[in-house]
Structure 1
Amino acid sequence: MKLKAVTAVVAALTLAACGGEQPKEAPAGVPHGYVEGAEEAAEAQSRLIVADAETGAVRVVDLITEEVHETGRVDGVRALTSDGRFGYLTARDGTIRVIDSGAWMVDHGDHVHYYRAKVRDVGVAPGKQPSSVYSDPAVSALSYADGTTTLLDRAQLDKGSLAELGKITRDPHAGVAVPYGGHILASVADAGRPLARGVRVHDRQGKAVAEIPEPCPDLQGQAVTRRGVVFGCADGALLVTEKDGVFTGSKIPYPRDVTTQERATAFFHRPGAATLAARAGEMAVWFLDVGRRSWQYVETGPVAAVNAVGEGGSLLALTRDGTLRSFDGTGKEQAAIPLLAPEAARTDGVSIQVDTTRAYVNNPLSADVYEIDYNDNLRRARTLKVGGKAGHVVETGR
């Protein structure tokens, strides 16, 4: 996702349930992850939340039926992010509108549960101007530029209400907090510093309980993967993992010295996957393989949006001339197709959403969202008409 005011989010919901953060045991006959009013399905119930940047109209598009659900308006919507089920829209005045897409999954490693429910407007979340939003089955963490994080009760959110569990308060900086391993991983900064220097572990109520000893200077960017949580640092990436309640950090250094402009500051990936894409300045992309602990520098040309499809899969890049390109793990270009007009590719809000078989690229200047089969030479499989203009898009249910 290319977001103007909200750091890219990747959905922690589907990972946490198979990593020791499962919700309370469900009654007999009720599957894990079920909430009242939901229907379990045999396959992913993927949907798109789409916001029109001009009119503020919010729509949810069912990718199976192509039905479009009108879901109200957000005045002057400036950014949109998601935690895998809910969309968080930032309005002109900084308030955060929460939309339930009614589509989600719970991954238990050896099996997956898929659910669908009604689309609904949940309401306005506490705080303004979020810098990131992450969730697991127990808590949703909304972080703000003043260093605070509000922790919401996820069970109540699933039922359609917003209830606070606690707060994390730190020295002011553009912070981030990620639920992981039954705790919250939160950035920590020194007084007077605009960027974080490392990561601290908090309990579910926001109390600090441990600190990751490995430093992460000028922390910017994060991603939740099956292999742990990745944080972007000035000197590489910090991977935080958990085993038996013990959190450890390890560094994945850049293969060479990088400039401030070249370093990765926002990661994009398929939810759960451990290959990540990040801009490397204006003309190239970093391809980070967390499993192999390696970076690949890929010269793509002027970058508009990027994403990575997963282990062994390709890197996708939309360049500012409107061409969608795919690259293999070595950085070799595999395919390229003209997709958007240059003026559309250069518009804020253009993004590449990725699931296990398809990618979705929005045209911010029209009602079109293009479904791309990235395993078939970037074949355009469908053109979805979403109504209004597809200014901001996130995919849920994957």
Structure 2
Amino acid sequence: MRAHNKAAALALSAGLLLTACGGDPRPRQDAEATPHGYVEGAEEAAEAQSRLVLADARGGAVRVLDLITEEVTRLDDIPAVEGISTDGRFAYLAAGESTHVVDSGAWMVDHGDHVHYYRADIRGAGRIDGNAVAANTDSAVTAVALEDGTTALLDRPALEDGDVRAREPVEGIAVPYGQRLLVATDDGVTVRERRGEGARAIGEPCPDPEGTAVTRRGVVFGCADGALLVSEDDGAFTGAKIPYPQSVPDAERATEFTHRPGSATLAAAAGQRGVWSLDVSERSWSRIETGPVVAANAVGEGGPLLTLTADGVLHAYDSATGEQIASRSLLTAPIDAGATPVIQVDTSRAYVNDPAGRRVYEVDYNDDLRVARTFELDIEPAHLVETGR
């Protein structure tokens, strides 16, 4: 591990946000006597307390890397991890016929005009049946989309206390939004109560839904003919179709979106031809002819679109013009078929895992893809998510 920045860690951990706002997460009963933003068992900080949850697909080793202190926490092994996803705090590691839940101990609460950042202990939190492929949450319910096309609904306050309480799965892809649950099936997208009951249809169709993203503009569902954006205003939910600019074969449609949390620019692979860039604010698609990629992510409005190719090279493209603006050879060896490098993006850095090299790279995407830090590890980090954002 490279040099620690202990002074910065102490400064961050000592910082407190005292700006007034409503809707604190799980406030204590004696709210008048507690500091604003208080969360029992957690420490509030002035900046994001980002952590990386990493898993070795071969040996089952699981690590959590604190990006502030650079300390690594070892957790119990989880054999045969096949995939990993996150809701911003918890990581969901799919292995076999179940999903193991890890509390990374880092998260944020967004109040719109300001944000609270928290850090707490890192721990295992339990497991659920089925293989997770995505996760989204609000203050009441966490929706974990499963490989079999259903969604597991978890009690969020109980989960934060280390108790995994799963209700009956919901058929389809479910996303908590606007104090309701949006559920996409082959019959369309409906608005339901948080427990899954009731069904008010969104008028716009979304054939063969696959892939979701939660943005400040609303929830995006990938459809066979483009995307459906569902937004909410004072309890009223509406859908707006964002069709592809031309006819797109199934092999080139967007089925898995990536983006910087809080941004409204999404990236998705476009088959072997390139990468889709979806501007949710402008409700428009553009396809960047990159050729086949292993991973892609979008920095956000005005920022580059990042891709990783099988030769281990990281590329940056102007998302408006499609022009390549930077590239850097990053991974130590060509990517094996069993490895799954990803690009995780936050407000200033990107993180790329190098399984063969047993390291993770922190890249400054605003400085010609400069490698800012290299984290040497004792495992092959085949799977990676960033939390605390």
| TM-score scaled by length of structure 1 | 0.87
Q: Tell me the SS of whatever aligns to 2:80.
A: coil
Gaps (5+ residues) in structure 1? 1-19, 189-195
Deviation at 1:347, TM superposition (A): 4.6
Letter in 1 for 2:354: N
1:206 equivalent to 2:196? Answer: yes
Residue in 1 aligned with 2:304?
314
Match for residue 59 of structure 2 among 49, 55, 60: 55
Residue in 1 aligned with 2:234?
244
Deviation at 1:341, TM superposition (A): 4.1
Counterparts of 1:268 and 1:145 in 2: how far apart (Å)?
18
The answer on whether the counterparts of 1:36 and 1:159 sit within 8 Å (CA) in structure 2 is no
After superposition, residues 1-398 of structure 1 pair within 5 angstroms as 23=25, 27-28=31-32, 29-32=34-37, 34-91=38-95, 93-125=96-128, 127-164=129-166, 166-170=167-171, 175-188=172-185, 196-328=186-318, 329-344=320-335, 347-398=338-389
Counterparts of 2:187 and 2:178 in 1: how far apart (Å)?
21
Answer with 1 or 2: which has the greater Rg.
2
* Greater RCO, CA 8 A, separation 6+: 1
CA 1:207–1:147 in 2, change beyond 3 Å: closer, same or farther?
farther
Deviation at 1:290, TM superposition (A): 0.4
Provide runs of 4+ in structure 1 moved above 6 Å. Answer: none
Q: Tell me the SS of whatever aligns to 2:158.
A: helix
Letter in 2 for 1:177: A
Counterparts of 1:150 and 1:355 in 2: how far apart (Å)?
27
CA 1:225–1:345 in 2, change beyond 3 Å: closer, same or farther?
farther
Letter in 2 for 1:181: G
The answer on whether the counterparts of 1:197 and 1:219 sit within 8 Å (CA) in structure 2 is no
Q: Tell me the SS of whatever aligns to 1:261.
A: helix
Q: Tell me the SS of whatever aligns to 1:310.
A: coil
Q: Tell me the SS of whatever aligns to 2:168.
A: strand
Deviation at 1:94, TM superposition (A): 1.7
Residue in 2 aligned with 1:9?
none
The answer on whether the counterparts of 1:307 and 1:317 sit within 8 Å (CA) in structure 2 is yes
Deviation digits for residues 191-229 of structure 1 (CA, Å, limit 9, x no counterpart): xxxxx3421111011102311111101111110000000
Letter in 1 for 2:36: P
Deviation at 1:151, TM superposition (A): 1.6
RMSD over equivalenced CA pairs, Å: 1.8
Deviation at 1:304, TM superposition (A): 0.7
Counterparts of 2:100 and 2:198 in 1: how far apart (Å)?
29
Q: Tell me the SS of whatever aligns to 2:294.
A: strand
Q: Tell me the SS of whatever aligns to 1:167.
A: coil
Gaps (5+ residues) in structure 2? 1-21
Deviation at 1:30, TM superposition (A): 3.8
Letter in 2 for 1:274: A
The answer on whether the counterparts of 2:85 and 2:132 sit within 8 Å (CA) in structure 1 is no
Deviation at 1:139, TM superposition (A): 0.8
Q: Tell me the SS of whatever aligns to 1:156.
A: helix
Deviation at 1:366, TM superposition (A): 2.9
Counterparts of 1:366 and 1:94 in 2: how far apart (Å)?
29
Residue in 1 aligned with 2:11?
none
CA 1:24–1:65 in 2, change beyond 3 Å: closer, same or farther?
closer
Letter in 1 for 2:59: T
